[in-house]
Amino acid sequence: MSGQALWFISRATGVVSIVLLTLVVCLGMVTAGRRRPHGESATVVMGLHRWLSLGMLVFLGTHIVTAIADGYVSIGWLSVLVPFTSGYETLLVGLGTLGVDLLVVLLVTSYLRHRIPEHRWRLIHWLSYAMWLVALGHGFFMGTSDQPVLRVVSIACAVVGGLMVSWRVIASHSDGERRREIDAQEWT
Amino acid sequence: MPDSSEGVRIAVDRVLCTGHGVCAQTLPGAIVLDEWGYPVIRSEVVDPEAATLAVKLCPARALYRR
Amino acid sequence: MNGIVELLEAAGLTGRGGAAFSTAIKVKAAHENGAELIVNACDGEIGAAKDAWIVEHRLPELIEGASLVARGRRPKVRYAAHRGSRTAALLHSAGLHVLEAPHRYVSSEETSLIQLAHGGPAKPMTKRAPFVFGGRDSQGHRVRPTVVLNAETLLRVSQINRHGATWFRSFGTELEPGPRLVAISGHIARPGVHEVAAGMSIADILALAGGLPEDARHVGVGGLGGVLLTAQDARTTIWTGGGMKRHGGSLGPGIFTVWDPSECPVETAIQLLSYGAGESAGQCGPCMFGLPALAGDWAAYGRTPSTDRYQRLQLRLDLLQRRGACAHPDGVSRFARSALATLRPEFAAHANHSCQKGGLRHARLV
């Protein structure tokens, strides 16, 4: 396959990856921020959140492999996991690598959730926001001006994700309110 | 250890449970939800395969096997 | 070395904090796991007073009992009491290690004290297995092997060690042996703490405090987590597990409260249920939402009885059994169910607007 074709595939799969990642993170926020009681979709949302995160790996894997294999730019295999070791666009590719590192930690801890203390799983899962931001940064700044669609997609993902985060932070519901109200009382 | 024809016991960690309601969908009939979305266990003993999936899918890690 | 466990087994001592679990089993597990001991001297239940009495009048025996349970080269014993209480002050001045609990109803519960002792809030924990073996809280933090015993239980441990199992069994009944402390309060001549035993009639128990007054109408047994008897039932009931079970209750933690006959008992019950609702630790949905709903529906029924409201109440009561991390919702619903049955005449009076009593928020319906 020609270098140019590989490069094209890399960018295409990169775009799909960031879209899927944004979707996965949003689905996680839907679960976490849910009003109770609610409709029948809780399981569907949870299932999609889990399985899309795995499905995304196919696109992400292709994105990484084709970017390294195309030979057009020098990104070594080390850069898959060790950030800021790429000759090409050290910082920006490094962000992508950082995102992959965080994703690996997230996936492994989630797969092993029932074998690790819950507080540790929760702390690490909060890192998913950092991972998403890092991936967005990577995607946005790597998109060049001659292909605006890459930047537009990144911005769209940022906006959608940003709106979800706002909802998560601002929206209140009686369940959470009652919990917070009681938690603020004297308990020690 | 009960064999698969007998079923396994499930329970809810009520402190972790925040009423997502996934268990009522993954273990229909065995668990129903009250008006605030919290589980009512109608049957403690369920099919092992269903239990495994239900335990895995609980977002709060509140469902567990006894 | 295990003489005390065998002695306790022979004596048949059970926990005096209300749950009545076999003390021999608990102490054996405590020894085997090198468990830390928390002495529960909180008097957490409404109307309780015997823990304070023990700390005031029997402290050396209590300490000795504790030493029989917490063994090892550096045994760890903490005495739990509510912050600012007289009990806490007495424990402090005796130079004991005091675990100060906040003034919350559920904070004196066994797992609440264990969590507090581990630096967390005094809120109940999910008990997948007894914490005497050590375990983890819901978030996965380790909990060291810890056992919690009521102050009176430890008093009895030291007495059994000193006087033997036969002495202990010379009190009470075969099923519920041993002397028991009870706190008697309310509309009675001489409220206070007295030593009795299972098998005595409630009338004889109350006689120690001056006797059930002629004008008394209701007696609470076991506080907010217990049951409400009519004075008539109180006069004819024997204080045993079986005798109390007929009224939906148990021996409980030894609390008798004679209700003031000049106050509307429906209103008193409403107050108690509201208190119970406000004391939820806010961890479990069925409790933090179910108890306020129960209090609200009970009040609505109490003030304007109807079949509809009664049925709704029954549904609510059923949804409060074993759906929380601790037994708080179970206790409150037990009391609510009991009061619902006991106060039928008063509900009828409310239904035809003939309740004459003053009450805190009693309103005559027009």
Could you read off the pLDDT of A81-140 as tens digits, one per residue? Answer: 999 988 888 898 999 999 999 999 999 999 999 999 999 999 999 999 999 999 999 999
Q: For strand C146-150 and strand C36-40, is the pairing parallel, antiparallel, or unpaired? A: parallel
User: CB of C325 within 8 Å of any CB in chain B?
Assistant: yes
Asked if residue C364 is part of any domain, the answer here is no
Cα-based distances in Å from C6 to C32, C34, C156, C177: 14, 18, 14, 16
Cβ separation C281–A182 shorter than 8 A: yes
Q: Is residue C291 part of a domain?
A: yes
Residues C148 and C198 in one domain: no
Domain assignment of residue C339, yes or no: yes
pLDDT confidence tier of residue C9, bands split at 50, 70 and 90: very high
Domain assignment present for residue C362? The answer is no
Decide if C186 is inside a domain.
yes
Instruction: Give the chain B residue nearest C137 (alpha carbons).
Output: B15
Q: What is the pLDDT of residue A146?
A: 63
Residues of B in contact with C312 (CB under 8 A): none
Q: Domain check: are C238 and C270 in the same one?
A: no
CA-based radius of gyration for chain B? 11
Across the interface, whether the CB atoms of A36 and B37 are under 8 A apart is answered: yes
pLDDT cut 70: percent of chain C above it: 97
In angstroms, the first-to-last Cα distance of chain B is 11
**What CATH number is given to the structural domain containing C67?**
3.40.50.11540
Residue carrying the six token digits 């004075």:
C231
Q: What confidence tens digit (pLDDT) does each residue in C97-113 have?
A: 999 999 999 999 999 99
For residues B41 and A78, the model is more confident at B41
Domain count, chain C: 3
Q: Are residues C235 and C86 in the same domain?
A: no
Determine the residue of chain B that is closest to A41 in CA distance.
Answer: B22
C326 with C240, same domain: the answer is: no
C82: how many CB neighbours lie within 10 A of its CB?
21
| Domain that residue C76 falls in | 3-167
- Same domain? For C111 and C187 the reply is no
Which residue among C200, C223, C258 closes a domain? C258
Pairing of strands B39-41, C98-101: unpaired
Q: Do A183 and C282 touch (CB under 8 A)?
A: yes
Angstrom distance (rounded) from CA B36 to CA C333 = 18
- Clarify whether residues C135 and C42 are in a common domain: yes
Distance (Å, whole) CA C129 – CA C112: 15
Please judge whether A37 and B21 are an interchain contact, meaning their C-beta atoms are less than 8 angstroms apart: yes
Q: What is the pTM of this model?
A: 0.94
Task: With H, G, I as helix, E, B as strand and everything else as coil, classify residue B10.
Answer: strand
pLDDT of residue A36: 65
> What is the per-residue pLDDT across A24-71, written as a single tens digit (0 to 9) for each?
999 999 999 877 667 678 999 999 999 999 999 999 999 999 988 877
Q: What is the pLDDT of residues A136-179, one digit of tens each?
A: 999 998 876 567 888 899 999 999 999 999 999 998 788 999 99
Contact criterion met (CB below 8 Å) for A59 and A21: no
What is the residue type of B50?
A
Q: Please state the ipTM of this predicted complex.
A: 0.93
C188 shares its domain with C289: no
pLDDT at position C361 is 42
Same domain, C328 and C181: no
A97/chain B closest Cα distance in angstroms: 28
3 state SS of C70: coil
The reply to whether C118 and C67 lie within a common domain is: yes
Grade residue C1 by pLDDT with cuts at 50, 70 and 90: very low
Among partner residues C121, C123, C140, which is closest to A117 by beta-carbon distance?
Answer: C140
Average pLDDT, chain C: 95
Please give the residue that has the higher pLDDT: either A41 or C230.
Answer: C230
Whether C279 and C217 map to the same domain: the answer is: no
Q: Per-residue b/e over C96-120, b at no fewer than 16 CB within 10 Å?
A: bebbbbbebbbbbbbbbbbbbbbeb
Contact predicate C38/C146, CB 8 Å: yes
Domain end marker among C148, C167, C186: C167
Residues C254-266: what's their mean pLDDT?
Answer: 96
Flag if C284 and B40 touch (Cβ within 8 Å).
Answer: no
Q: Judging by DSSP bridges, how do beta strands B63-65 and B8-12 pair with one another? A: antiparallel
CB-defined contacts A:C, below 8 A: 41
Instruction: Kindly state whether residues C19 and C161 are assigned to the same domain.
Output: yes
For residues C98 and C12, membership in a common domain is answered with yes
State residue C191 phi and psi, 5-degree precision. -60, 150
Q: Which residue(s) pair with B8 in the sheet?
A: B46
Chain B residues touching A118 at Cβ < 8 A: 16, 61
Q: Which of C214, C241, C258 is the endpoint of a domain?
A: C258
State the burial class of residue C253 (Cβ atoms within 10 Å of its Cβ: 0-12, 13-18, 19+): buried
A111 touches chain B (CB under 8 A): no
For chain B, domains (ranges, CATH) are: 8-65 (3.30.70.20)
* C304 close contact with B: CB closer than 8 A: no
Query: CATH for A3-168, among 1.10.3470, 1.20.120, 3.30.160, 3.40.50?
Result: 1.20.120
Helix (H) or strand (E) holding C193: strand C192-197
Which residues is C197 bridged to in the sheet?
C179
CATH of the domain at C301: 1.20.1440.230
pLDDT above 50: residue C68 = yes
SS3 of residue C41 by DSSP = coil
For chain A, the domains span 3-168
Closest CA of chain C from B38, distance in Å = 6
